[in-house]
Amino acid sequence: MGHSLKQLFSDFFSTIVFLAVYAVSGDVLVATGVAIAGAIAQFLVARLRNQKLEIMTLASVALVIVLGGATLLTRDPRFVLIKPSIAHFAIGFIMLKRGWMLRYMPQIVIDNVPHAITVAGYLWAALMFILGAGTIAVAMTGDIKLWAIYVSVVAVGAKIVAFLVQYAVIRILVHRKLRAQTAVA
């Protein structure tokens, strides 16, 4: 789980920086500029450490630079506000690959309920599409405070709830299957 959280932090680093700077300064343009600088710094630090950057991290850096640049040029924050939706859609499309979650599961789960993991993977994809659409809807209002709440509370909260529900359901399914196997033997 630590690796997954680290990867999510890396993918959403610029959004986190944007939110933090905006919370302190209240200035969208300053927050955008710092987020762009943070994304570039993230890229340079990874290169200096000879770390391989995942496609989502590279896409995130590129989107911050392009959409952040558009925000700075037009002074319209909606460009940078839609950035997380693009990430959600990209992740959603990746999650449509059958069995993508299997590599994250312990062997006991893979051995006992692989079909449940496939279903969970598709449900995660649906959640990403819903969150992406919600991000766009909120971004189009131009209300940065509402957007900040949506991105930091609603989107993150939905993922935490989904993770906890998935954990509980998978755990119950594995235990049922193991009990049924024990009863037969």
Q: Encode burial over 51-69: b for 16+ CB neighbours within 10 A, e otherwise.
A: eeeeebbebbbebbbebbe
Q: Give this prediction's pTM.
A: 0.73
Task: Give the pLDDT band (50/70/90) at residue 83.
Answer: confident
Give a three-class secondary structure readout of 77-96.
CHHHHCHHHHHHHHHHHHHC
Weakest-pLDDT range from 59-68, 90-99, 122-131: 59-68
Report percent pLDDT > 90 for the chain: 41
Q: Which residue has the higher pLDDT, 2 or 107?
A: 107
Looking at the structure, do residues 73 and 98 belong to the same domain, yes or no?
Answer: no
pLDDT at 51: 83
Looking at the structure, do residues 77 and 100 belong to the same domain, yes or no?
Answer: no
Q: Which domain holds residue 51?
A: 1-81
Evaluate whether 135 touches 150 at the Cβ level (below 8 Å): yes
For the segment 154-172, what is each residue's pLDDT rounded down to a tens digit? Answer: 998 999 999 999 999 999 9
Task: Give the pLDDT band (50/70/90) at residue 13.
Answer: confident
Looking at the structure, do residues 4 and 51 belong to the same domain, yes or no?
Answer: yes
pLDDT at 7: 63
pLDDT for residue 31 is more than 80: yes
Looking at the structure, do residues 86 and 75 belong to the same domain, yes or no?
Answer: no
Count up the domains in the chain and report the number: 2
State which of 30, 55, 81 marks the end of a domain. Answer: 81
Looking at the structure, do residues 23 and 77 belong to the same domain, yes or no?
Answer: yes
Looking at the structure, do residues 102 and 65 belong to the same domain, yes or no?
Answer: no
Q: At what angle do helices 114-141 and 156-184 cross, to 10 degrees?
A: 170
Q: Which of 18, 45, 20, 50 is nearest to 33 (CA)?
A: 18
State which of 41, 65, 81 marks the end of a domain. Answer: 81
Amino acid found at 91: I
For the segment 108-139, what is each residue's pLDDT rounded down to a tens digit? Answer: 988 999 899 999 999 999 999 999 999 999 99
The SS3 of residue 27 is coil
